Every structure is written in structure tokens, then in C-alpha cells.
Amino acid sequence: MKTDPDCVFCKIVAREIPAAELLEDDDAFAFLDIGPLTPGHTLLIPREHYTTVDEMPGDLLARVTQHLPLLVQAVQAATGCDGVNILQNNHRIAGQLVPHVHIHIIPRRPGDAWTFNWPASEYAEGEMGKMADRIYRELERRC
């Protein structure tokens, strides 16, 4: 199994650092975030070390994320929240502070302190099609 001796999440999986463990199997590990945005904030990670989701084999990502429905149901029932945000960030610029793939399950309640900034914009005329073409060509190149 691929690990990083300097990674805090690898140390949690190896039980070198304690965590409030919630779920584990051969591929996945879930625990409460030590710095929760709201009570019940849960992290789901692969046991193996990958820095970003695009480095992970697709079948492993599927085996890890298969636990999301059950975890979301449990977090919602345990916290009595009205909904959840499910987030996965890649690289520091996107908000990833620990360089090990992790998926946040964040319980939400009316008036909680966490805000989600989503400054939506629009494509200029013809730019959406050009962007779709560039992405499609990259997909073709990789398949």
C-alpha cells in the first residue's frame, strides 16, 4: 500500500495519530474532522496515499466513494442537520490543506457560520463551445 510517512492522514490510517473513527474497510477510512466547519463534519479518505483525485485509479475511487450514501445518511441522522455539502478539493489553490485525497461531508443548518462562495459567471458568445471542444479533445487523447 502506498503511504507517505509525512502525511497526517496516512498517520491516522496507521493509527499513529488518534482520530474519531467512523468507518473503514480495505480501501476507505472515515473519521471526524479535527477542525469541523460544523459539528459532525466528516472526512472520507482512501487508505492509500494519493495527493489529488486525478492521481487515483478510477476503480479505487469508486470503492472509496461507495460509502458516501451510508455516511451521509448516518451524519444527517446523528446531527439532525437539514442538508450536507459534499466537497473534494484538489491542490492548495482549491482549498486542499492536507495533501491526501479527502472528501468532506459537512452537515448544514440554517444560520450556521460556514458560507459557500459561488460567484457564477457566463461564457462570452461562442466560448462555451470552444471550451467543450478543448476538453473533449483532451478526453479523446487520454482514452
Question: Which positions are annotated as active-site residues?
Answer: 102
How far is the C-alpha of 44 from the C-alpha of 27, rounded, in Å?
A: 11
- Say how far apart CA 60 and CA 48 lie, in whole Å: 9
Distance CA 29, CA 97 (A): 18
Q: Who contacts 44 (Cβ-Cβ below 8 Å, separation ≥6)?
A: 23, 28, 29, 30, 64, 65, 67, 68, 71, 102, 103, 105
* Cβ 38 vs Cβ 108: under 8 Å: yes
Residues 6+ apart with CB under 8 A from 113: 37, 38
